[in-house]
Amino acid sequence: MPKENVAIKSENWRLNSHKDLNDLQKDIIESRDPNRLEVVVCHGTGCIANGSPKVSSAIRESLLGAGINVKLMPGIKTTGCHGFCSRGPLVIVRPHGFFYQRVTPKDAEEIVKKTLMEKQPVERLLYKNPKTGKTILTEKEIPFYSLQERIVLHNIGKVDPTDIKDSIASGGYQALAKALCSMSPEQVVKEVEKSGLRGRGGAGFPTGRKWRSALKAIEKKGYPAYVVVNGDEGDPGAFMDRTIMEGDPHAVLEGLIIGAYAIGAKQGYLYVRAEYPLAIKHLEIAMEQAREYGLLGENILNTGFSFDARINRGAGAFVCGESTALFTSIEGKAGNPRPKYVRSVEEGLWGKPTVLNNVETWANIPLVIEKGADWYSKIGVPKSTGTKVFSLVGKVNNVGLVEVPMGIPLVKIIEDIGGGVIGGENFKAVQTGGPSGGCIPYSLKDTPVDFDSLTKVGSMMGSGGMIVMDKHDCVVDIGRYFLRFLEEESCGKCIPCRLGLIRMRKILDGFSSGTGTKQDIDDLISLSQALQDGALCALGSSAPNPILTTLKYFNNEYLSHIENHKCPAGVCKELITYSINADKCTGCRSCARQCPKQCISGDKKKPHVINTENCIRCGICMETCKFEAVIVS
Amino acid sequence: MNIEGVKISEILERYPAKPEYLIFLLQDIQKQYGFISSETMEQICDRTGVPLTQAYSVATFYQSFRLEPKGEHEIKVCLGTACHLKGGPRIVNELERRLGVKAGETTSDMKFTFDTVNCLGACAIAPVIVIDEEYHPNMTAQKLEKQIKTLGQDMTEVSEVLGHA
Ligand SMILES: Cc1cc2nc3c(=O)[nH]c(=O)nc-3n(C[C@H](O)[C@H](O)[C@H](O)COP(=O)(O)O)c2cc1C
Ligand code: SF4
Ligand code: FES
Ligand code: FES
């Protein structure tokens, strides 16, 4: 990656005061030409998967081939996920801010010629508002972005996550300097308490209160104490924490160091899911750079405060996101939760007082400290302050990462930011909170998205997965999905969880194969009760949520499986049949070629038929047909 | 053992000889060799001072550890929530049918190891599969067929070349 070619005088020297940091920031900013062209290419996971690395190299090649004077050569910067993944690969040209979407390597030459040399936008790559048909020039004007409040994500898509100078230029480590140089640890804790910040990892526990309990535990037990980042992100439909760690690792680190200062911890741990190698790499680079600049390690900013941290890679166990399991995993053992008669803040890692917070929670800390609790607590609603990042996925037009103020009505996220459901109908349900959350039906579309309102409707905030379901998604199926997931991930330590989950899943299997009875519903409810009451950790005790909410809001759909042996959404294999609509079938034979059972027949260019006897209802024909001739009933 | 220039002793010495580094070592060994053999497991235990049975219970607790060698190509199908809704299970079924193995297993010719994963952070292009670290967006049975065929052919070409050499 070409770094900007600026000689910063403070290169390779330690920052020894807040003033040093300010000087460095000024230096970096001044050494940059604000009019210099810069091509920003999204290298978030979604865009990479869509081929953005090929786009950036194509642009680089075109630039080299265009014979531009080296001094005027535009920079190419790769960043973390910009959020609008469904329009990726994304390319933004600064300083104009032209926002190009669905860019392919073939477009590189035109971008170079038209935008970088002639300063004109490439019309066809611009975003077109599907509702108004109007072409939009810059990111700021696109509803997907303009309706969000991106404060935690503010750097992502702007800074190069592997260059600390880029972070410092955009205000990174200012909060740390403020805390260390002009606030006492007590003042830091007070500020966090006053901000109303609640944990973003799921349960919404007030962060300030957690830090306060840690201080109390330290008073009793003494040091050492630890601070830990929970980057295990186990929710199977979410990638917020990943994006933050990949796209702005310094924000997480800065938050962590501030937390360490607040409670007097000397050692920190970042527990990161094994499947996130890029996040691990970026955090490692960030830590190394922070050490070089005197922002991590011995005598930070020459204040006498020393703190260091290390990364622990997870090893593929969902339950390790749970606090006590996470601690045992860091200790090198199998991650089994333990009963919490003693809270994990008091007896955490190595049995010592430990503050464990989620990635996004930590990334909020610099904001709280730098801008102050008063500023922070004005965002959102009184009992859920600030913003929340969601991964908005499923059957919605604008799939990606969104950050909104707490308390925003659900429908606003789905319709206004998300652009509504693909195909234009209303959503059927929105699943929040992952395997511990629930399905919120369209009738509750105005539910404010904050901790307490979501709990009230039977779901929960969770870590921030938001999955939009449409009429083709079956609630029995999604319930089975989560139960199966939890069944595989249960550590098996306690009976209600180990056996209850299997039993519940089997009941749902019965529904989806048409052998369920109404009695089963009662059994499901009592099993749910047993899990809620008897499970040791929240994996088990919150597992019934997806089932209980769907039973409550989509009872008819369950009954239809039980009484009519029908799956209205057309998902549960044993209750559906595929057939071909003769009016639409062109006889192209593509389904017949794909059918693994060879049970589709017909003459070329004539309507085909499915032999339902051999059909295994794999659905490949429906997926293959370009004319929507295959119907499911 | 000495594969790709990294000696096992080099890996073992990366961390202090303490039990808490067991998982680090298992991960590094697996990254290097693709799996953890019984001999390396013993060496890890010698180094960290963790009893062998406990090391195995850790290695089997975490899903990411393999105690068997991996196939030449690794296919991972995302079954995160978004991919589940958009047809991930269909891809899993197809793969099971085509390869004749279940998720988590390796084909008998050691060509393919196939497994499922949760959300890869690319839900915008669900369903997603990853073949040898490369993402393949909006997967369908049709595309899958092509991919497997190309990989299969690659393999015959490679073995032909090797055979002639
Ligand atoms: C089974 C289970 C899995 C969890 N997974 C995660 C996770 O992946 N990430 C996370 O931040 N919190 C997770 N949690 C919540 C943590 O236990 C803990 O509450 C959280 O990390 C505290 O941070 P916060 O107060 O900043 O939210 C999980 C909890 C349970 C019971
Ligand atoms: S509730 Fe489940 S996951 Fe949690 S400790 Fe008990 S068995 Fe393990
Ligand atoms: S990965 Fe590029 S926008 Fe999300
Ligand atoms: S669910 Fe498959 S990439 Fe997110």
The pLDDT confidence band at residue B156, using thresholds 50, 70 and 90, is very low
What 8-state DSSP symbol labels residue A543?
T
The pLDDT confidence band at residue A597, using thresholds 50, 70 and 90, is confident
CB A539 near ligand 2, within 6 Å: yes
The pLDDT confidence band at residue A633, using thresholds 50, 70 and 90, is confident
pLDDT mean over A314-327:
93
How many domains is chain A partitioned into structurally?
5
**Subunit contact B117:A275, Cβ cutoff 8 A:** yes
Is residue A277 domain-shared with residue A402, that is, in the same domain? no
**In chain B, where are the structural domains located?**
3-61, 73-161
pLDDT mean over A242-264:
97
> Is it the case that residue B157 has pLDDT exceeding 90?
no
Q: Which ipTM value was assigned to this complex?
A: 0.88
Q: What are phi and psi of A388, to 5 degrees?
A: -140, 140
Is residue A129 domain-shared with residue A170, that is, in the same domain? no
pLDDT mean over A561-578:
93
The pLDDT confidence band at residue A6, using thresholds 50, 70 and 90, is very low
Closest-CA residue to A567 (of A630, A459, A479): A479
Is residue A114 domain-shared with residue A189, that is, in the same domain? no
Is residue A259 domain-shared with residue A298, that is, in the same domain? yes
Is residue A345 domain-shared with residue A296, that is, in the same domain? yes
Give the domain-ending residue among A377, A397, A416.
A377
Q: Is A601 a domain residue?
A: yes
The pLDDT confidence band at residue A531, using thresholds 50, 70 and 90, is very high
The pLDDT confidence band at residue B153, using thresholds 50, 70 and 90, is low
> Is it the case that residue A509 has pLDDT exceeding 90?
yes
Domain that holds residue A527: 475-564
Q: Is A249 a domain residue?
A: yes
> Is it the case that residue A9 has pLDDT exceeding 70?
no
The pLDDT confidence band at residue B146, using thresholds 50, 70 and 90, is confident
Per-residue exposure over B126-137, b if at least 16 CB sit within 10 Å of its own CB, e if not: bbbbbbeeebbb
Is residue A206 domain-shared with residue A289, that is, in the same domain? yes
**Subunit contact B137:A49, Cβ cutoff 8 A:** yes
Closest-CA residue to A240 (of A273, A207, A270): A273
> Is it the case that residue A85 has pLDDT exceeding 50?
yes
> Is it the case that residue A223 has pLDDT exceeding 70?
yes
pLDDT for res A459: 93
Question: Rounded to whole angstroms, what are the CA distances from A183 to A30, A170, A371, A372?
Answer: 29, 22, 13, 12
The SS3 assignment for A198 reads strand
pLDDT for res B1: 47
Burial bucket for residue A445 (CB in 10 Å: 0-12, 13-18, 19+): middle
Is residue A535 domain-shared with residue A597, that is, in the same domain? no
Distance from C-alpha of A110 to C-alpha of A497, rounded to nearest angstrom: 58
pLDDT for res A316: 86
Q: Which two tokens stand for residue A544?
A: 């019934």
Distance from the first to the final alpha carbon of chain B: 25
Residues in contact with ligand 3 by the CB-under-6-Å rule are A 42, 44-47, 81-85, 88, 90, 400
> Is it the case that residue A10 has pLDDT exceeding 60?
no
Decide which of 3.30.450.20, 3.30.2010.10, 3.90.1150.10, 3.40.30.10 is the CATH code for B73-161: 3.40.30.10
Residues 54-73 of B with CB under 8 A from A: 54, 57-58, 61-65
Residue of B nearest to A621 (CA): B141
Could you give the percent of chain A with pLDDT greater than 70? 98
Most confident of A3-12, A247-256, B85-94: A247-256
The residues pairing with A229 across neighbouring beta strands, listed in sequence order, are A270, A357
Question: Cα of B121 to ligand 4 centre, how many Å?
Answer: 6
Q: Are strands A226-231 and A267-272 parallel, antiparallel or unpaired?
A: parallel
Residue of B nearest to A469 (CA): B85
CB A320 near ligand 2, within 6 Å: no
Is residue A317 domain-shared with residue A243, that is, in the same domain? yes
Closest-CA residue to A90 (of A75, A78, A74, A72): A78
For chain B, what is the mean pLDDT? 86
Domain holding A208: CATH number? 3.40.50.11540
The pLDDT confidence band at residue A2, using thresholds 50, 70 and 90, is very low
Distance from C-alpha of A148 to C-alpha of A388, rounded to nearest angstrom: 10
Q: Give tens-digit pLDDT for A18-54.
A: 999 999 999 999 999 888 899 999 999 899 999 999 9
The whole-model pTM stands at 0.93
Tell me the DSSP string of A359-412: HHHHHHHHHHHHH-HHHHHTSEETTEESEEEEEEEESBSS-EEEEEETTEEHHI
Residue of A nearest to B130 (CA): A49
Element spanning A270, H or E: strand A267-272
Q: Is A481 a domain residue?
A: yes
Give the domain-ending residue among A112, A146, A180.
A146
Is residue A198 domain-shared with residue A314, that is, in the same domain? yes
**Subunit contact B85:A394, Cβ cutoff 8 A:** yes
Question: Cα of B121 to ligand 2 centre, how many Å?
Answer: 26
Question: Cα of A399 to ligand 3 centre, how many Å?
Answer: 10
Print the SS3 string covering A420-483.
CECCCCCCCEEEECHHHCEEEEHHHCCCEECHHHHHHCCCCCCCCEEEEECCCCCHHHHHHHHH
Is residue A355 domain-shared with residue A216, that is, in the same domain? yes
Distance from C-alpha of A146 to C-alpha of A164, rounded to nearest angstrom: 28
Is residue A493 domain-shared with residue A461, that is, in the same domain? no
**Subunit contact A333:B58, Cβ cutoff 8 A:** yes
With contacts defined as CB-CB under 8 Å, which chain B residues touch A330? 20
pLDDT mean over B134-150:
87
CB A388 near ligand 1, within 6 Å: no
Nearest-neighbour CA in chain B from A483: distance (Å): 12
Domain holding A586: CATH number? 3.30.70.20
Q: Is A135 a domain residue?
A: yes
The residues pairing with A358 across neighbouring beta strands, listed in sequence order, are A230
Q: Who among A85, A395, A624 is closest to B85 (CB)?
A: A395
Could you give the percent of chain B with pLDDT greater than 70? 89
Q: Is A314 a domain residue?
A: yes
Residue of A nearest to B126 (CA): A394
The pLDDT confidence band at residue A11, using thresholds 50, 70 and 90, is low
What 8-state DSSP symbol labels residue A106?
G
Please indicate whether residue A463 or residue A111 has the higher confidence score (pLDDT).
Answer: A111
Tell me the DSSP string of A109-161: HHIIIIIIIT----GGGBEE-TTT--EE-BGGGSHHHHTS--STTTTTTTS-T
pLDDT for res B5: 56
Q: Give tens-digit pLDDT for A191-215.
A: 999 999 999 998 899 999 999 999 9
> Is it the case that residue A105 has pLDDT exceeding 60?
yes
The pLDDT confidence band at residue A562, using thresholds 50, 70 and 90, is very high
For the ranges A62-76, A507-521, A595-609, the lowest mean pLDDT is seen at: A62-76
> Is it the case that residue A130 has pLDDT exceeding 70?
yes
Give the domain-ending residue among A564, A593, A624.
A564
Interface contact B103, partner A, CB < 8 A: no
Interface contact B143, partner A, CB < 8 A: no
Distance from C-alpha of A49 to C-alpha of B129, rounded to nearest angstrom: 10
Tell me the DSSP string of A299-355: EETTTTEEEEEEEEE--S-GGGGSHHHHHHHHTTS-------SS-TTTS-GGGS-EE
Q: What are phi and psi of A52, to 5 degrees?
A: -65, -30
Is residue A222 domain-shared with residue A333, that is, in the same domain? yes
For chain A, what is the mean pLDDT? 93
State which of B86, B91, B123 you would mutate to test the pocket of ligand 4, scoring each by most atoms of that ligand within 8 A of its C-beta. Answer: B123
Residue A194, C-beta contacts closer than 8 angstroms, at least 6 positions apart: A208, A373, A374, A377
Q: Is A569 a domain residue?
A: no
Q: Give tens-digit pLDDT for A340-369.
A: 777 889 999 999 999 999 999 999 999 999
